[in-house]
Amino acid sequence: MHRLFATIPVLMLSAATAFAQPSKPAAKKDLVEFEMMTSPEVKAALAAGKTTALVYTGGTEQRGPQNVNGGHTLMGRETVRTIALKLGNAIALPVLPYTPNNASATLPGTIGLTPEILAMVLERITDEAIKTGFKNVILMGDHGGGQGQPNTYAEVAKKLDARYAPQGMHVYFCDEVYAKANADFDKMLEAKGLPRSSHAGIPDTSEMLYLGGDKGWVRKELIPTAVGNPVPPPGQRGRGRQGGGDAAATGAAGTPPETGAPAGERGRGRGQQPADPNAPPRINNGISGDARPSTAALGKQIFDLKVEYAVKQIQGFLSNQKTTPQ
């Protein structure tokens, strides 16, 4: 019995010591986030061949009643970090939290840039990345703002690649992480018999559930009522995901048409026909489509598509350098 009582303090001390141990730091090979690295670590990574900088933009905008406003940026951090890990030769720069969009007092939550300001920011970040020692810079975005026509990312990449290519450095726009991944996921949803949705709908809500369902990214109790304005079939709506924003049913870039569009154009998106006067009243809760079927499993599918498409496209960019004379 005496031995038992003597053992208890030792066990308690061992347990307390175990709980007090700090979490194991990430292995050096797993350090791919620029903002989480020290200066010597960045220098060592560059020397070891991690010479591709990933410039990923997020966005700050209302995402319906159920999703937090920073969704694009939060998803972007996880996406670009995973892309960098899978590439093995890249470092993810801090995700830019603002992209082309328009604020609204009716649906507060959106803070946006103009395409011109985004272009200047992307150009400056790229120049700074190359000064740091990166040989390749990849521009990508989680939000549709700036990815329409004209495409801000593509224009900046073309301009800067022409400037740096003679020096053996390159700048690329990776569009498949957004356009192709979202288009293919929409087809997958249709094949499953699920309703069309866009901004704050099934794709957004599902991915946020998968990546941050336990982190407060989604108000799960509101998903059963997360339904907005219907999304018309392709060809009967504005530019949607491929246009200047991914809030086709809430206006040009997150601003409700009823409050943000010029007189005589309210009730229609960019490129759409005038609103049907016999149509039911718009809900205007920030959701385009129906987010109620959203699940973490669907979120994993769209997340995996984005990562897979980006990695493949970027690898193609880099391998083409080796086969194309400079």
| pLDDT reported for residue 223 | 97
| pLDDT reported for residue 278 | 62
- Which is it for strands 136-141 and 90-92: parallel, antiparallel or unpaired? unpaired
- Answer yes or no: are the C-beta atoms of 223 and 205 closer than 8 Å: yes
pLDDT band of 230, cuts 50, 70, 90: confident
Task: Please determine, for residue 14, whether its predicted confidence score (pLDDT) is greater than 60.
Answer: no
pLDDT band of 24, cuts 50, 70, 90: low
Between the CA of residue 57 and those of 73, 109, 118, what are the distances in Å? Answer: 7, 17, 10
Task: Please determine, for residue 313, whether its predicted confidence score (pLDDT) is greater than 60.
Answer: yes
Block residue for tokens 């356009």:
179
- Give the pair of three-digit tokens for residue 93: 């720069």
Q: Count the alpha carbons within 13 Å of 14 in the hemisphere toward its beta carbon.
A: 5
The mean of the pLDDT values for the chain is: 84
Lowest mean pLDDT among 4-18, 110-124, 210-224: 4-18
| pLDDT reported for residue 231 | 84
Q: How crowded is residue 300: how many other Cβ atoms within 10 Å of its Cβ?
A: 15
- Answer yes or no: are the C-beta atoms of 167 and 135 closer than 8 Å: no
Task: Please determine, for residue 286, whether its predicted confidence score (pLDDT) is greater than 70.
Answer: yes
Whole-number percent of the chain with pLDDT over 90: 70
pTM over 0.95: no
Lowest mean pLDDT among 100-104, 149-153, 270-274: 270-274
Task: Please determine, for residue 120, whether its predicted confidence score (pLDDT) is greater than 90.
Answer: yes
Whole-number percent of the chain with pLDDT over 70: 75
